Amino acid sequence: MSIQQRLAKLNPRQQEAVRYIDGPCLVLAGAGSGKTSVITTKIAYLVQACGMSARRIAAVTFTNKAAREMKERVGQMLEGKEGHGLTVSTFHTLGLNIIRRELAALGYRPGFSLFDPEDAKALLRDLMHKDAQVDAEVINRVQHRISQWKNDLVLPGEAASHATDQDELFAARAYEAYVRHLKAYNAVDFDDLILLPVVLLRDDPDALARWRKRIHYMLVDEYQDTNVSQYQLVKLLMGERATFTVVGDDDQSIYAWRGARPENLVTLGEDFPRLNVIKLEQNYRSTGTILRAANTLIANNPHVYDKTLWSKMGEGAAIRVVVNRHEEAEAERVASEILTRRIKERAEWRDFAVLYRGNFQSRLLELKLQHYQIPYKLSGGTSFFSRNEIKDAMAYLRLLINPADDNAFLRIVNVPRREIGPGTLEKLANYASDRGGSLFAACHELGLEQVLPTRAVERLGRFTHFIDGVRRRMDAGDALAAIRDMLRDMDYEAWLYQNASTPTIAERRMANVWTLIDQLEKSMQADPEDSAASEETETDGVEAAISRLVLRDILEQQAEEDDSDRVQLLTMHAAKGLEFPHVYLMGLEEELLPHRNAVEAGTVEEERRLAYVGITRARRTLTLTLARQRKAYGELMDCTPSRFLDELPEADLEWEGRADKEDPDKKQARGKDAIAGLRSLLG
Ligand code: ATP
Ligand code: MG
């Protein structure tokens, strides 16, 4: 299909958004109105109709899943080499690529580590332990605060002046120490992936010029969920030229807790007075009934922009609200219904999605789905990367590219067993910290003999010697072969067998490790980078591939990916941007949706947007379920139906199982209706 034919399939407003390329463009529209479609078509338009090189275009979104879907949709439109060098990624992957190319300018040594949130927490725990008696909750709070500061572009030196009380001051001090240590480890954390590029581009005109030359056009999906630093990244990269298209829906802003600033929509208009704002009003996804429910619900929130959505998809079925005795009955009901409906509707498993507020809600449902042998895919649960064997292998990889990565060192120095105990490690850590170096470097120092028995020094020496050997081989040539040999040589497999309860489990674990290495190889081959990549040595390639794996790990904990024919189980957060013919929303109860914390914190509006996101994922049918009783904190509690149910158009809802809760007047009225209906039937 030619690009002109593709354009012709869009409505006039969408076409305008695709064709407008001279200045900044904002598409502001409700769910299912074709915003993402505008982005994908526009990428093809830029390449095929405007002759722009794909490597000058960067499209960014929030989750891996969304990025992958977008990549697929664009891939179908571009032919042959047209798409070469195109960046379609998450914000964080874009940031990672910038950092990799700008390591020197950023003051990092080659071979940096990307710390996942757990590594970061371990580091904070270490640092704060010296300061005061702090428990896990304090560490979590400080970690969250640091993340907020980073997302708001508040640097360590400035945090103290932003602090409003003692706790904040404490966090600000921890922030400074944390950043200093990260740097010493030659490591960056998840939030740094945006923060570091922003600071670099802001302060280094040469770097800015390099990147402005590299990226000519940017497209941002789900713009309402950008935070301060992400917005700055777009603004810096685009500069005066302002050649960008961002699309968003303020009603779908659901990441305030992670620093998202829906007011970025307003800021955009102020920063770019030439901004061309295009609104889309036709929804191509959902039936009229589903759309009406979504519109009615969200009308309860205050609005900056008014949007009206309509659909030509027909009225469709009523929205069912199923009240269950307890949570188990709720799960049972959803599972058994999917089973029968799949046949009745001639649907596939993948046409069904079950959405919920919190990951824990999936547990019972999983059991029921397993019981009926329904294939399902759980997003955000225990991912591949959270398996122990994968964490071990990743730690080896990280240590190979960055021996200063103490977290990685600690994880595997005694895995498989090398008789290096906690006592030795503690002394080693003290020694390293006195000298201000890494644990790995400390193992090489002669002075270590003075604090550790010779036997311990020898054991550490054997370990570092082993790692050094692998590193030398990686530098010399085939890095992947060196890694594969390392895994064979060190008896990791034997160690797995010793530690697993059955040989089959050990076998599977080792297979997982090889899968990881295969992934690594694939990731090296698929390096989507520009010409700069070809100048990299092979070890750089491994390094890049390893950091990409770590990033994927972090992102996948938010949303995982899979194509096979399975029922999708996911949180409403992870479902953003997706659509399914049949959607079940579970747990429509006070305390759950809206979540108790949100009610206490006065952020019910964000919960309402979350419900809006959930409802608008549905194309043909929507079923809302709730339980009358649910176990919480080990006790069976009575549940109250969610206030959001009252905010939906009563006439579009079909209740089931509410009889005992129903207001007697309504019941009578319904009875009369039924009698009237029967009469008219009987003539
Ligand atoms: P969300 O806000 O949920 O991210 P969105 O605005 O990005 O939604 P899309 O996912 O782009 O919407 O589109 C929703 C559905 O409508 C998709 O199935 C898409 O293929 C279809 N669609 C979009 N535009 C048109 C059009 N002009 N004609 C027919 N179908 C369309
Ligand atoms: Mg979208």
Q: b or e along 394-413 (b: 16 or more beta carbons within 10 Å of the residue's beta carbon)? A: bbbbbbbbbbbbbbbbbbbb
Task: Supply the residue whose CA is at minimum distance from atom 27 of ligand 1.
Answer: 10
Q: Is 485 a catalytic residue?
A: no
CATH homologous superfamily, domain 3-100+194-280: P-loop containing nucleotide triphosphate hydrolases (3.40.50.300)
Q: What residue type is assigned to position 24 of the chain?
A: P
- Model-level ipTM above the cut of 0.90: yes
Q: Is 252 a catalytic residue?
A: yes
Q: Is 459 a catalytic residue?
A: no
Tokens of 161: 């002046």
Pick the ligand that lies closest to the CA of residue 249.
1
Catalytic member of 145, 617, 620, 658: 617
Q: Is 427 a catalytic residue?
A: no
Mutate to test the pocket of ligand 1, among 10, 36, 351, 580 (most ligand atoms within 8 A of CB): 36
User: Going along 346-462, which residue ranges are E strands?
Assistant: 352-356, 376-378
Report how far ligand 2's centroid is from the alpha carbon of 493 (Å). Answer: 44
Measured from the CA of 222, which atom of ligand 1 is nearest?
A: 4
* Residue range 179-194, pLDDT digits in tens: 998 888 888 999 999 9
pLDDT at position 501 is 67
Q: Is 285 annotated as a binding residue?
A: yes
pLDDT at position 540 is 60
Q: Is the peptide bond before 528 cis (omega within 30 degrees of 0)?
A: no
Tokens of 407: 């977290």
* Residue range 290-327, pLDDT digits in tens: 999 999 999 999 877 777 789 999 999 999 999 999 99
The CB density around residue 81, as the number of other CB atoms within 10 Å, is 8
Strand partners, 321: 624, 655
> In angstroms, rounded to a whole number, what is the distance separating the alpha carbons of residues 366 and 369?
5
Q: What residues in the chain have per-residue pLDDT under 50?
A: 381, 528-538, 559-561, 661, 664, 667-683
Q: Is 553 a catalytic residue?
A: no
Domain range list for the chain: 3-100+194-280, 113-185, 310-382+564-682, 385-526+538-557
Architecture of domain 385-526+538-557: Orthogonal Bundle (1.10)
Tokens of 118: 């757990």
Catalytic member of 14, 143, 148, 252: 252
Is the fold of 3-100+194-280 the same as that of 310-382+564-682? yes
> In angstroms, rounded to a whole number, what is the distance separating the alpha carbons of residues 74 and 65?
14
- Using CA atoms, how far residue 266 sits from 13, 271, 275, 423, 512, in Å, is 21, 9, 11, 57, 47
Report how far ligand 2's centroid is from the alpha carbon of 341 (Å). Answer: 27
pLDDT at position 521 is 86
For residue 659, give the DSSP letter: G
Packing angle between helix 117-131 and helix 136-151, nearest 10 degrees? 120
Nearest 10 degrees: Cα torsion 574, 580, 583, 589: 30
> In angstroms, rounded to a whole number, what is the distance separating the alpha carbons of residues 573 and 463?
43
Q: Is 73 a catalytic residue?
A: no
Q: Is 36 annotated as a binding residue?
A: yes
CATH homologous superfamily, domain 310-382+564-682: P-loop containing nucleotide triphosphate hydrolases (3.40.50.300)
> In angstroms, rounded to a whole number, what is the distance separating the alpha carbons of residues 520 and 480?
9
Site residues for ligand 1, CB cut-off 6 Å: 9-11, 14, 29, 31-37, 249, 252, 284-285, 577, 579, 616
pLDDT at position 120 is 86
> In angstroms, rounded to a whole number, what is the distance separating the alpha carbons of residues 551 and 533?
19
113-185 folds as: Arc Repressor Mutant, subunit A (1.10.10)
* pTM (predicted TM-score): 0.77
pLDDT at position 144 is 92
Report how far ligand 1's centroid is from the alpha carbon of 284 (Å). Answer: 6
